[in-house]
Structure 1
Amino acid sequence: MSYAIFATRPGDSSVLVRQDRDPPAPAPGQVLIRHAAIGVNFIDVYFRQGLYPWPVSENLVLGSEGSGVVEALGDGVTGFSIGQRVAYTLPNGSYATHRAVPAAHVIALPDDIDDATAAAVMLKGLTAHYLLHHSHPVQADDTVLFHAAAGGVGLIAGQWLAAKGVRAIGTAGGPEKCALARANGFADCIDYRTEDFVARIRELTGGKGVQAVYDSVGADTIMGSLDCLATFGTLVSFGQSSGAPDQVRVSHLARASLRMTRPSLFHHSANRAWLEQAASDLFAMIRRGAIKVQIGATWPLDQAAAAHDALTGRATTGCIVLIP
């Protein structure tokens, strides 16, 4: 049986419905993957809600990362074989038992990286890679602030920052999530429910501020994030779980000669050489135990709506995985 979870229109999780369908046939340059595991991310929610434009006018299959086995090869595909374990990250189309994916976006999985781990890290782990190596390339003497430290990207980034000798300060909601962040590389974690994160950053840095803020929260935090930066600091805005951060104006950057960037993973992963190197770096960190992947919850694929509700309700930590 092959099926997919479609969003019938922009809206809440009730718009997600299951529809049986035949497995797609791979076009030239594509591989057909039978999914073993599928990652859930806030970008899926953004598309479902209509915050990001739908790329098609009809029903939309959400999901931007997955792992599984190659079942068929389109014309012209080389370097992959039937039965090979692979993973990928690519916008929309993953909430399905089968997906045809351009081979240029597919990565062969090492034997020691299991399916659930691969599905959990292709988007989140590669996001952490570009944030720390490109958006603001961290140095060992940096102090940085990372919002949503107990989320999927945050837990990976915290461990990666610690391995680089960077002092990472996180924010999270509640003592349990702060404890989890501290256990995953963060030197300090600010409970935004009970503390003013701007005041705490000033206290923790002796009034100097941080070299970079990585902000995936958006509207609720963006102005405070600017206030946390040291002179010449960089604000990396890479998400909007609380709404679009549209309050920022160019003139706000003048207060301390600040920099701001709004990067996207998929602009990075469109470069095959970058994708291969970044995935290799990520798998190496996992292999040597420098990054331990936290899978906070799994749901059957046909319960994707429940997974979305848990994610938007801040009821999860770490990564969420759907199993077909």
Structure 2
Amino acid sequence: MLVASSCEKVGTAPRDRADHSVVMMSTPQMVCKLQDFAVGHDDPPGADDLPRWFCYIPVGPTCRGRQNRSRPSSLPRTKLQSTGKPISMPDTYHETFENGPGGWYAWDSNYAGDKPLEIVDGSAVSRSPWWIDYNHAPPGAGYMHLLFMLDTLGRPTERKTEIAGHNNFVQQGLSTNFVDAELTFRLKGELVLHDAQLVLLCQGVHDGLCSGWLLTGQPITVTDEWTESTLNTRLDADQWTSLDSRHDRTECYGTRPLETVLSDVNTNILLVLFPLDIAPMGPLDGDPHRLRPDVDYPIWRHRLPEGYVAMDEARINFS
């Protein structure tokens, strides 16, 4: 079973990363940078042992072939006991990082995929330099850094568990309906933002595309003292910005209605730095948004955010 986490062809190394180890296959497959998932249509080993409320969704070899990953719509706030009777799902998520990352992780690149966060004195730490996520370059919303990520649905692979630990959100069977949810993050750090902002990103796969919405109307302030920031994910379009897609990622990414995505955030939530000021270093032959910064051309990194952010508590109260 192949597990991958990129919208690139597996088995194809970037021109400037010839020394990078990649998974080789006889037939290249297209896989998506949404979350670790298996390429294939068979149930995973042990699927019969999964709780009855767990909805395993097989996926195809392309992003568009990947089916929606939501729980049955008839059970938005319930799960089934072994007797088949519905019971209420938990209304609150609480992570303190006292026992490790709890399912939270960082992102290395389209090629290398996910990577561990630093765990220091009971907090998860994300530190620059950060990879430039160019998957949503114009005509999409723009570029961003991915600091903290948490999958909201799905069975983690062995690799993901090694990187992120046990995902307490998924293990508790928490809702993926984030409409009017209240999210609180306790953070501290030092950031040189260069006009970027730390914001929440919610992503869900609907009708074959991953649609991400940034809560740009409620940016998070980070100081050198522990501070709580509380966000409310209301259905207010003025508070949100759709990520959409760059010109050659439209098989993976796109825009679905805000209500559709917030009602079923079935992929992940992230804290990201957005937008980024991407400045080519020297003359450039071609449209910078059709090329890939830091891959196809060098950039001035002093114009990007620098620093670190530590998180020692994350809470979500569902309405």
Greater relative contact order: 1 or 2 (C-alpha under 8 angstroms, separation 6 or more)? 2
Higher helix share: 1
TM-score (norm 2): 0.27
- How high is the TM-score relative to the length of structure 1? 0.27
